[in-house]
Structure 1
Amino acid sequence: MAISIIGAGVGRTGTYSLRLAINQLGYGPCHHMEEVLKNMDVQVPLWSETLKGNTNWSAIYKGFKSAVDWPTAGFFRELLKEYPIAKFILTERNPENWADSFGSTIYKLIEGRDKAPDKMRDWLKMANEVIIKTGFPQGLDREGLIDGFNAHNKAVREVIPAEQLLVFQVKDGWEPLCKFLNVAVPNDPFPRTNNREEFWELVNAGN
């Protein structure tokens, strides 16, 4: 099973809500960092090898039809080569709001990785390397985060062919997503979830 939808948007841009929406539209299961956290013994070594250039995409995405969020978003160039006809979704939001959200969740978690429980350290090490690869080394201030965010989104727009790319904000709801995927708009409200409090609940569930 090859994945057909790939999220190129970084964490804290509505990727968890997008994952729920993709699942609801029948393109799941959708891979997300939560899947890595739930299955660290298998997923972390695979992603760690990928960072070294030893990729095994079929093993990483075994059983999945789609993928969003990190680590996936850090490899959009490689994934375009591996899945040249896949559809890509770039989730965006206001850069200042994103920097505040990312800085108080993922960036803060990565910064404190040396104090994390032993079983989470390999996961955090891998996640840190993916985030660095995406353009966010440790030590950036708010402006540095904003610049990195804008640079990543610009790169995605330049690399992914326009006909294969949807630039999407979750606040826009079902219509642009369903049009891009050529499916009917559900009657249910578009899923909205994973605020900052829910982020820490997900992380702590992996401890």
Structure 2
Amino acid sequence: MSGSEGYATGNGGPSRSAVVAPVKVLCLGPPRAGASSIQAALGMLGYHETYYFPSSINDRSRDTQAWLDAFDAVFEGKGTFKKGDFDRLFAGCQAVVGRPCCAFAPQLIKAYPEAKVILNTRDVDEWYMSWIRFIKTRMAREQEQGEVNLEPEDEQKVAAKMLRSKILYAFFQDDFIKTGKAAFKAHFNEICQLVPKDKLLIYDIKDGWDPLCEFLGKSVPSEPFPGHDALEVFEDKSPSQVNGTAGELKSLHHAVVAVPQEAGVEA
């Protein structure tokens, strides 16, 4: 998932204003590895402007389309998405956390070489099973809603669904059961290879404040570390985004319900 097509380090076209994002921290672990806890922790450590897409979708109305453009450029070779485009997305932000940013780890590491990189991770089997539980729950809910919700969807909701699908495809290529664990390990290894050891923290949120604060050169807060979101929800938090219709995740892996025993999950 390290597509490099369409990426360049130059700024965007002359019709766009020049912006340089002051990105100091990149948190690039895979989805469902504690991003929301880390986003909250970074805020408590003084990184008050943090780009975390699930919490910024309401006040960054153009971001969904920009990320769709980024996926088209990097993974499908359609157009270009340059450092200047990332700068505009992250304008004013000191830290970048979670999805869809984590799908662009090589591009962001190249764009912000001075940034410290947090590779948030967790036990691969625990991570894998959390995805299985989530997919089963989400598919059941969407099937139920799809049977009763016949109203057309607005453009924002359609675009958000397209973005989620592209994130999932970038990591798992439509077959989570077969590719999930390998994708997790490949993402981990790629980041370890790209980032110098002195700029990289391999981090599990269960480890709390100490390793994170030492890495960032911050004092340990007196407050507890933000909640361990081990089952971090992979959906947008805005009310307009919550009620999806059936079918969105079926392309990810149709066999989650059909053959759950293969994944070690009871039907």
For the aligned pair, the TM-score class normalised by the smaller chain equals 0.7 to 0.9
> Are the equivalent residues in 1 in contact too, given 2:34–2:230 (CA < 8 A)?
no
SS at match of 1:67: strand
Give the percent of matched residue pairs that are identical in Structure 1 and Structure 2.
24
Aligned counterpart in structure 1 of residue 211 of structure 2, from 163, 176, 193: 176
Q: d(CA) in 2 for partners of 1:177 and 1:94? A: 18
Change in Cα spacing, 1:182 to 1:84, as seen in structure 2 (3 Å) is same
Superposed CA deviations along residues 143-172 of structure 1, whole A, max 9, x for unmatched, are 531121111111111111111110000000
Change (3 A) 1:109 1:54: farther
TM-score (norm. length: structure 2):
0.68
Aligned match for 2:169, one of 100, 109, 132: 132
In the alignment, the residues of structure 2 paired with residue 206 and residue 64 of structure 1 have an alpha-carbon distance, to the nearest angstrom, of 25
TM-score w.r.t. length of structure 1: 0.86
**Residue identity opposite 2:92 in structure 1:** G
| Aligned-residue offset at 1:122 | 1.1
Contact 1:90 1:166 in 2 (8 A): yes
The residue aligned with 1:2 is 22
- 1:123 is matched with 160
Q: Larger radius of gyration, structure 1 or 2?
A: 2
User: 5+ residue gaps in structure 2?
Assistant: 1-20, 74-79, 242-267
Q: CA deviation at 1:93?
A: 0.5
Pick closer, same or farther for the CA change 1:201–1:195 going to 2, 3 Å.
farther
C-alpha deviation, 1:33, in angstroms = 2.7
**Offset from partner CA, 1:68-97 (integer Å, 9 cap, x none):** 111111111111111110000000101111
1:47 maps onto 2:67 in alignment: yes
Aligned residue runs from structure 1 range 1-207, under 5 A:
1-39=21-59, 41-51=61-71, 52=73, 53-55=80-82, 56-105=85-134, 117-118=153-154, 119-133=156-170, 135-141=171-177, 144-194=179-229, 196=231, 199=233, 203=237, 205-207=239-241
Q: Point out the structure with the larger helix share.
A: 1
Asked whether the 8 Å contact 1:7–1:73 carries over to 2, the reply is: yes
Q: Unmatched 5+ residue regions in structure 1?
A: none
Deviation at 1:202, TM superposition (A): 5.1
Match of 1:199, SS?
coil
| Number of aligned residues | 203
Q: CA deviation at 1:108?
A: 7.2
